[in-house]
Amino acid sequence: MKLLRYGAVGAEKPGLLHSDDTLRDLSAHIDDITGDTIDDATLAKLRTVDPASLPIVDGEQRIGACVGNIGKFLCIGLNYSDHAAETGAEIPKHPILFFKANSAIVGPNDDVVMPRGSTQTDWEVELGVVIGKEAKYVSKENALDHVAGYCIVNDVSERHFQANLTGQWTKGKSCDTFGPTGPWLVTRDEIEDPQNLDMSCDVNGKRMQTGNTATMIFTVAEIIEHLSQLFTLHPGDVITTGTPPGVGLGIKPEPIFLKKGDVMELSIQGLGHQRQKVDQDA
């Protein structure tokens, strides 16, 4: 299933993308798509609903983040071997973990607003993993059983804030609007292998990132195993899993960063498409 949330900010309703590409309303079956409604039992019940019987949502609709009330927003850095190479970084021995503030979360097509003083805002297409079942001390062999589904995340990053404001990467990762998420939560049964998904990011119509999740250093299962040894993963937690090469910071001879009016378009195989216009706080 391709689950989504539509409507105005703060008033999103649950929906489903039917195979005929119509948006169908799920409000009669669940209140929202959150950690409380993406467990295996609830998803199994939703699969018994005939999508053709659901009301069609007419008109152009804003699409919100595909999961509401996200718990932890966990991010894995330098997790693609080819991206680590472009940045000149060593291959990490363990997954590098940082957090995004939940206030960064926006819909997949909402504007990305660069904060005051930003001169080095960058793009990063990433596979997002949404936890559906509590995970504590799990092994990589059963880690994917704890996944509700997958989505696209744009891990927007302000590189000067990230590297030069002293402290952890979180400062450059957590600015408002720096976490477009969605459009869909694609349930795990529809993704045969999360380690074989093509992904791309275009800026102003030019292809900047081309990659495949096969070049991850740590697989989705290994990431969940590692994190679950440190703390409990709860339903509704989102993990972004790193980005392939082609970020603005890695462009030679001079990096290229976003400016007001730029447009980012991101895609991951089977997970849909995002489009954000860039604005800047005055």
Is 139 found in the same domain as 247?
Answer: yes
Residues of the domain holding 189: 73-280
Q: Give CA separation, 107 vs 6, 9, 44, 247, in Å.
A: 9, 9, 26, 21
pLDDT (0 to 100) of residue 86: 76
> Measured between alpha carbons, how far is 190 from 28 in angstroms, rounded to an integer?
24
Is 59 part of any domain?
Answer: no
Q: How many domains does the chain have?
A: 2
Is 208 part of any domain?
Answer: yes
Is 266 found in the same domain as 126?
Answer: yes
Find the mean pLDDT for residues 102-121.
97
165 pLDDT above the threshold of 90: no
Is 171 found in the same domain as 104?
Answer: yes
Is 141 found in the same domain as 88?
Answer: yes
pLDDT (0 to 100) of residue 89: 75
Is 63 part of any domain?
Answer: no
Is 276 part of any domain?
Answer: yes
Is 167 found in the same domain as 33?
Answer: no
Is 244 found in the same domain as 159?
Answer: yes
Is 64 part of any domain?
Answer: no
Is 141 part of any domain?
Answer: yes
Is 263 found in the same domain as 172?
Answer: yes
Is 9 found in the same domain as 98?
Answer: no
Is 261 found in the same domain as 167?
Answer: yes
Burial 75-105 (b: 16+ CB within 10 A, else e): bbbbbbeebbebeeeeeeeebbbbebeeebb
The string of pLDDT tens digits covering residues 199-224 is 999 999 999 999 999 999 999 999 99
Is 103 found in the same domain as 27?
Answer: no
pTM tops 0.85: yes
Amino acid letter at 278? V
Find the mean pLDDT for residues 17-25.
96
